[in-house]
Structure 1
Amino acid sequence: MVLVREPTQAPSPAQHQQLQILFRHPGYNDSSNVLFRLQATDRDDDGRPGLFAQLALDACAIVAGNCGSQGWLSLSRDGSAPIEPSSTLHARSYYFHLAAADDEPYPIVPNFGQWLYPHDRLPLHWQQLATNANVAPPTIALAPSNLTTALLMRDGSCRLSDCREQQQVAHVVPQSELGWWRANGMSRYNTGLTATLDDMANALLLRADLHIAFDTPRLAFVPKPATNGSMRLVAHVLGSSPEFELLYHNRELHPTAVGVDMLYARFAWSILPLLRAFLESDTDRRLTLRASDAPLADARGFVAAADCERFSTATNGRRSQSPKKRKPERDDVFEAEETAEFRPGSSRKRRCTADAANTPSDAILAKRPCRDPPLSAPSSEHTSSSLSSPLTPTSPPIDTSLSPQGPQALPTPPCPQLAQAWLEAERQRSDPDGTWNKEQDWLRRVWAGKTLSADEVECWFEGIGYEVREV
């Protein structure tokens, strides 16, 4: 007997007042001095919206170039009556002040690419996370190719929800930030011996939907005080999301050995894009820039409004606009990003899909002439001349009966050498990244004995001149 259960009910968060808190720069007019805004998701017992002041101070310190304890928040432009870091912010706007600021407005870091990591100057409450119970001791260090296996051994389940299904490997410092990673020497915090981002210290397991929220970013993992005064690693909801607030806001993470330095860098990665409106307000700004961009600033460090906007529209290290296909590593665990190794056939598959829409579905493979020029034969050390024929598919015979003038009227094929030279020139013009040559190299390796995975079989048939159709 089948027992039918009632439909699943969605979470029912209470209807609370919403508040976005503005953080202002006292060196500019109030009409154009809002640095960024944060959602007030740290609510009182009565539902009143607020924000943990220390978290706001951390965000402001990052924006101001890692000023550390030199800054404070105040309700007034003159900086009087500083706000206590352990308090909760409830007002609409606050000014962030610096003790060492001169007569000029203090400079701002415009995006993550320009931000320098504060080595050996991590805020004390972030350093305290390393001694807390919810940060587990590191386990065995495996090779980057075994990152998923290593995380399954270390974390076992999603570190926020504790679910064991639909897990994904979430990189803390995104893989798209490899240039920033190398420029700032972040590999010193790896638990393994390599310099890669695919290190245990820079990854944790998250359920698929939470991984998306982490990358959006709607979630950040930050330290907040527990009732006993110790700092705990918790999830902080950055945007307005009543359901996420109800389910995950201020939830302590399950034990994990993810690096605290990586988490601090990720917090900066999540905060700095919020400066976009400040940089696009048609006002010259005083910015902190890398040496390569320093010529854009004048002698006082001010950058023209048009150039400020350039920094605001930079990719800022965000995940690429089109998400990469996730490939299964083990059961329900998936890698978040593919490696840089060449993966053939993406463009071919798109053409194959278009062809399949106009062809019968009762056949899977149909022989046809190769769309690309014939692939040169593999080198002699891997194969003999008898093996090269499948790599050089020939065109089907021409039906001369369709020509009213007979076979004598058919054009003479052009010189093969000239045709090949023209094709090579066209490839150089239309394929500057050399994707076609990479595909040909891959086909040669397969023909020489490289083992094919299941998702590469279709690419192989496409490469040697077959059309793959959907059934």
Structure 2
Amino acid sequence: MPLARPYEPQERDQYPAPSARIIIHHPGYADGYDTLIRLDGFDKKDTSSSLGLHMGTALVICGIITSHFSGYFTRVKEKEAQQIQFEDDAVLEGGDYYLHIPGDETYAVCPAFEHWKFPHDNPLSPWACSAISHSSTGIQPNKSYAHQSSTFTRDQGCLVSRYRDMKEACHVCPAEELVWFRQNNMTNYILDTDVLANALLEDVANLVALRRDIHKSFDDREWAFAGKEGVWSVHFLKPTNDLGPTYHNLRVPDLQGKVSGQLLLTRLAWAVLPRMREFWSGPSKRWVTVRTVNESDGTTGWIKKYLNQQETERMMRKKSRSPAKRKAPDGDGQDAVEEEGADCGGSESSEDSNWHWPSSSEEDDSPRRGRKRKRSSASSAYQSVSLPPCKQITTCSDLPSYHNTHPTPDVEHVVLDDQTFAPWSTSERA
């Protein structure tokens, strides 16, 4: 029986794969505190050129950060400096670049994804020209909510590796961003909206089939889809050992018509916005664009604010959308009530100081769902019950067998407080 030869380790000079470092600066701030974002570049103009970053993708990322897609790069800070000629498929070499927005040298920056305003009115090619329909997806109307089976039927395996094993249905706009999705009116970019609100992101137009490890890398913000040379391709944002060198710049033509470009742009924004922490760590105030909600009618808007470091950090700290416990008023004896919008990050709050986890001795061995919390003041409910000591244990083997069919096993008589108890007595039997 012939056996296959073992796979040899891939020969590369460096692990992880090398990259060019492109540093984007904001010209409106002092040197040393003006770094907007650092980007890794794995692109080449041709096989003989050095590594860099696809210029079209770089400008789209900068447009996400600033909400302006008309910016340009210079090599020096002054806006009068010579602009770098834009070519969508050109490659930026590693180094420092200054991002300028025409007419706005103090442009505001988005602090976090939940504050990002989707650019509905800024068509970008190919991000805005990827229309989807039931015919293009191959999914029957009103069936796109059967997300996993429909996605697997449509994609016929992982869209990147083409593997059919270990495939999973992956959200393009992450499932936890449903609030953002609705606030930004993104329902125009899915197929079926006649579903419950919490099922909107389960639409097949927001799902792709990916192999399990590639899905994990996708959720770790290591890569996203990008438009290059007129086709969707895989674009890695971080150095990796194997996935990046294997799949970076891989064309994914099957993505066309299955997922809207607007949702792919959303995923890119979700992946890159957390990489700006260096900019927010500076001591000077920053102009930021933040989302606001009108309390009277619930409508969403965006405003420009001038915030210091502490205010910006609070703005970036994402609050939990799940209910949180609130301390009940003193003396009411009621259980805690639930309240939405509480900040669940960091250490235990003082409001939860009256709660404790039951120890292993306080619970039985039976499996339970969820967690059980008890007030420390009510710990007496867990006190064990004292039983009288056992005075005598005797064995009785001469009791009649039950229904006279089987021998009766030895039965213990337990004597408690001078009173004998047995499973039954002879006088009670028929």
TM-score, normalised with respect to structure 2: 0.67
Contact 1:273 1:312 survives alignment (8 Å): no
CA positional deviation for 1:355: 7.8
Which residue of the other structure, out of 304, 316, 340, is the alignment partner of 2:308? 304
Paired residue secondary structure (1:288): strand
Cα distance change, pair 45–166 in 1 and its aligned pair in 2 (3 A): same
* Structure exhibiting the larger radius of gyration computed from Cα positions: 2
1:425 aligned partner:
none
* Separation in 2, partners of 1:275, 1:292: 25
Whether 2:221 is the aligned partner of 1:217: answer yes
Deviates further, 247-256 or 144-153: 144-153
On the 8 A contact 1:279/1:309 being kept in 2, the answer is yes
- 2:92 is aligned to 89
Cα distance, 1:47 vs structure 2: 5.8
SS of alignment partner, residue 290 of structure 2: coil
Residues 1:56 and 2:55 are matched in the alignment: no
Assess, with a 3 A threshold, how the Cα gap between structure 1 residues 193 and 128 changes in structure 2: closer, same or farther: closer
SS in 2 for 1:57: helix
The alpha carbon displacement at 1:130 in A equals: 4.6
In 2, distance between residues paired with 1:306 and 1:82? Answer: 35
SS in 2 for 1:187: helix
Tell me the equivalent position of 1:248. Answer: 247
**Is the 8 Å Cα contact of residues 280 and 312 (structure 1) preserved in structure 2?**
no
Where does residue 209 of structure 2 map in the other structure?
Answer: 205
Change (3 A) 1:315 1:167: farther
Mark the CA change 1:309 to 1:164 in structure 2 (over 3 Å): closer, same or farther.
same
Q: How does 1:334-353 map to 2 (within 5 A)?
A: none
Match of 1:276 in 2: 277
Please say if 1:234 is aligned against 2:237: no
| SS across alignment from 1:179 | helix
Counterpart of 1:188?
188
1:271-294 per-residue CA deviation (whole Å, 9 max, x = no partner) reads 11111111122221111112259x
> What is the DSSP-based 3-state SS (H/G/I as helix, E as strand, rest coil) of the residue aligned with 1:59?
helix
Specify the code of the residue in structure 1 equivalent to 2:74. Answer: S
Judge conservation of contact 1:221–1:236 (CA < 8 Å) in 2: yes
Q: For residue 136 of structure 1, report the CA deviation from its aligned partner.
A: 8.8
Matches within 5 A, 1:364-443: 400-402=388-390
**Aligned: 1:10 with 2:9:** yes
Determine if the alignment matches structure 1 residue 29 to structure 2 residue 30. Answer: yes
Match of 1:35, SS state, is strand
Is the partner of 1:73 in helix, strand or coil?
Answer: strand
| Cα distance in 2 between the residues matched to 1:216 and 1:255 | 23
Q: Does 1:111 align with 2:115?
A: no
Q: Distance in 2 between matches of 1:144 and 1:92?
A: 45
**1:10 Cα deviation from its structure 2 partner:** 3.3
Aligned AA (2:221)? P
Amino acid at match of 1:40: G
Within-5 A mapping of 1:354-373: none
Residue type of the partner of 1:218? E
TM-score, L = length of structure 1? 0.62
Aligned-partner SS, 1:76: coil
Whole-angstrom CA distance in 1 between matches of 2:316 and 2:4: 50
TM-aligned CA deviation for residue 144 of structure 1:
6.0
Separation in structure 2 between the aligned mates of residue 403 and residue 240 of structure 1, nearest angstrom: 73
1:100 matched to 2:118? The reply is: no
Paired position in structure 2 for 1:179: 179
Return 5+ residue gaps in structure 2 as ranges. Answer: 295-302, 322-358, 373-384, 393-414, 419-430
Kindly indicate whether the alpha-carbon contact (under 8 Å) linking 1:50 and 1:89 is maintained by their aligned counterparts in 2. Answer: yes
Greater fraction strand: 2
Partner of 1:170: 170
Q: Distance in 1 between matches of 2:290 and 2:124?
A: 23
Distance in 1 (CA, whole Å) between partners of 2:74 and 2:97 is 6
* Aligned residue-pair number: 323
* CA positional deviation for 1:93: 0.9
**Structure 1 residue 60 displacement after superposition:** 0.7
Residues 172 and 207 in structure 2, CA contact (< 8 A), matched pair in contact too: yes
Which stretch of the first structure deviates more once superposed, 80-89 or 105-114?
80-89
Percent of residue pairs bearing the same amino acid type: 27
Give the distance between the partners of 2:99 and 2:281, measured in 1 at CA.
20
The one-character-per-residue Cα deviations of 1:238-286 (angstroms, maximum 9, x if unpaired) are 0112522321000011413012111011111111111111112222111
Q: Deviations over 1:209-259 (max 9, x none)?
A: 00011110111101001xxxxx10000010112522321000011413012
User: Deviations 1:126-174 (Å, cap 9, x if unpaired)?
Assistant: 234459xxx9922224546521111122111111111111000100000
**Residue 250 and residue 220 in structure 1: after superposition, are their counterparts in 2 closer, same or farther (change >3 A)?**
same
Deviation above 6 Å: which 4+ runs of structure 1? Answer: none
- TM-aligned CA distance change 1:399 to 1:312, over 3 Å: closer
Q: 1:166 to 1:17 in 2, by over 3 A?
A: closer
Distance 2:121 2:142 in 1: 27
Residue 200 of structure 1 aligns with an amino acid whose one-letter code is: V
